Structure 1
Amino acid sequence: MRDELEEALRHSQDGYGRAQHINQVDLPKRFYKSVDVARVEDGYVVTLDGRQVRTPAQKIPVVVQALSIARAMAEEWAAQGEYINPATMPMVRLINAAVESGESTAPAFRAEVGKFVAGDLLLYRADKPQELVAEQEAVWDAVLVKLARQFDVAFQPTIGILHQEQPASTLTKLDEALEGQGLHALTALVSITGLTGSGLLAIALLHQLLTADEAWTAAHLDEDFQIRLWGADEEAMERRAQRRVEFDTAVAVVEALRA
């Protein structure tokens, strides 16, 4: 399911998608000296040599609602060397993705989180070995209990991979938990959902029921169990570290816009 969402993002968020494949194109040379943050009527912008930053494909002016997001973007622009490498600019890529996708995509992004909730990672359990079963029960059930208490919902976890229908009232209430989130926040929540494989973890983070570390640990419980059994693959761990950077970036956006 995580792969399906990432594929959808490559098509629906053109600026973000191109950055995922940055190694396939030549990197542009740095063309600016100074980087600043400025206040404008609608929010905050990053300027390069006094000119407002625009998105790479559609050349749309980039305006954000939180100063912390603008500062994070400015730090990424300032950190570039002789060449501009979008792979080292997770905040810029995420915000560009939101801006270039357009406000009309916000309902689809909200619905995407809901699709994951309906068949969520936390709801499909192993039947063996017992150590993994116990870990899933301890960690994942704790998340479900917090969500159940917060939103007055019930879940139907199942063993195996056959689809288990969740109560309609649960899905409705959890969709309502995303009410009022703007395009930038929803883009970040879709990113969190894709990186963790869980819409429930994204909603729990949004409503401060979990810390970022707790959500990341829950999302990788199965993977960590396999690592303890068979050891870690170096390349896989490098990919995981990069995903953690993207995850933390998305969490920072959610937290900034919530504040």
Structure 2
Amino acid sequence: MFRSLVRLQSQFGNALFLSKVCPRSQQSRFALKYSTAAAERKRFYQDVSISQGEGGLYEINLDRRKLKTPGGKLFTVPNEALAIAVATEWDAQRETLKFYTMHMTTLCNTALDNPTERNKDQMINAALKFLETDTVCYRVDEPHGLVELQKNEWDPVLHWIENRYNVTIGSSSSILGPEIPEATRDTFRQHLNSYNFWSLTGLEYVITQLKSVVLSLGMIDRHLSVEQAVLLSRLEEEYQIRRWGNVEWAHDYDMYELRARTAAGALFVHLSSESSTVKRKLLQD
């Protein structure tokens, strides 16, 4: 039933289910409920299914129980594709439920409960703040090898996004960073406003992971793969590792973890933007 997710997921890499991330809440009255999602629990259901409820929204059923959010709301998603993604996460759990691996479920919970109680304008403002400290805009003066690496790897992406959105961003080695023109902010504000609340939730999550609006939009627009975006966001760290070596296993763990979170966010953006239902024939493939 859930094979279509594999096809959807392949656009963003296989890292989605390879790693762990604990859900976070910034609102104190939700903190306890959300913190429980970081724990493991014995699986209490046999079958996972989806159903369409009121208003055309899709629900997740664990046996005959309807899934609810940490805030106590009925867990509903806007389309079938996203419902399949969430149901797949629950179906993939074994004897023990590892909630920290269920990225799509966590993002849906965040969109439904909105623990920080923000609206679209506030989310857009938060995302645009990252332009001032964007990873690809801050350059070093030395060592020469890293200077050249940043220029060779980051400049093409920066030029792409400037041409793609007809904006000026630039880069700087100053601690103050580049001065972002107001026209650039306005252009990105208008673009981000075209996303619905759910998609913005996913996009802001991706931006937070990569610390970069440039890399996030490059990936969402399919100019970059998940693997490329993550490597570019870790460029200085990767340079230092090649130069000095790394702690055994720790580097790979961190890399897979970041890929998993980034892939989940990208997939969430695209699935929550999907207005039509998944074709029945895809579910039967």
If the length of structure 1 is used for normalisation, what is the TM-score? 0.85
Deviates more, 1:59-68 or 1:142-151: 59-68
Alpha-carbon shift at residue 200 of structure 1 (Å): 1.9
- 1:112 corresponds in structure 2 to 126
Q: Distance in 1 between matches of 2:148 and 2:239?
A: 11
Question: Relative to 1, partners in 2 of residues 1:19 and 1:228: Cα closer, same or farther, differing over 3 Å?
Answer: farther
CA distance in 2, matches of 1:42, 1:219: 39
Cα distance in 2 between the residues matched to 1:235 and 1:105? 37
Are the equivalent residues in 2 in contact too, given 1:154–1:167 (CA < 8 A)?
yes
How far, CA to CA, are the matches of 2:108 and 2:62 in structure 1?
Answer: 17
1:52 is the counterpart of 2:31: no
Which sections of structure 1, spanning at least 5 residues, go unmatched? 1-5
What residue in structure 2 maps to residue 93 of structure 1? 106
Question: CA separation in 2, counterparts of 1:45 and 1:232?
Answer: 44
Deviation at 1:154, TM superposition (A): 0.8
2:277 alignment counterpart: none
Give the Cα separation in 2 of the matches to 1:12 and 1:180. Answer: 27
For 1:132, give the aligned amino acid.
L
Q: 1:172 and 2:176 equivalent?
A: no
Q: CA deviation at 1:149?
A: 1.0
Amino acid at match of 1:141: D
The partner residue of 1:69 within 42, 66, 82 is: 82
Distance 2:96 2:126 in 1: 35
Question: Which secondary structure state, in structure 2, belongs to the residue aligned with residue 159 of structure 1?
Answer: coil
Distance apart, 1:127 and its partner CA: 1.0
Q: Does 1:235 align with 2:250?
A: yes
Aligned mates of 1:17, 1:215 — CA distance in 2: 32
- In 1, the alpha carbon distance for the partners of 2:81 and 2:246 equals 35
Q: 1:28 Cα deviation (Å)?
A: 3.3
What root-mean-square deviation, in Å, do the aligned CA atoms of Structure 1 and Structure 2 show? 2.6
Please point out which of 261, 268, 271 is paired with 1:253: 268
Is residue 2:192 matched to residue 1:188?
Answer: no
Which structure 2 residue ranges, 5 or more long, are not aligned? 1-20, 275-285
Partner AA of 1:152 in structure 2: N
Counterpart of 1:11? 26
Query: Which residue pairs with 2:43 in the alignment?
Result: 30
Give CA-to-partner distance per residue, 1:126-179, whole Å, 9 cap, x none.
111222111211221111111111111112311142343211111111121212
Distance 1:159 1:38 in 2: 53
Is 2:107 aligned against 1:80? no
Q: CA deviation at 1:109?
A: 2.0
Q: Where in structure 2 are the equivalents of 1:218-229 lying within 5 Å? A: 218-229=232-243
- Tell me the distance in 2 between the aligned counterparts of 1:240 and 1:76: 21
Equivalent in the alignment of 2:278: none
Asked whether the equivalents of residues 171 and 177 of structure 2 are also in contact (C-alpha less than 8 Å), the reply is: no
1:195 partner letter: Q
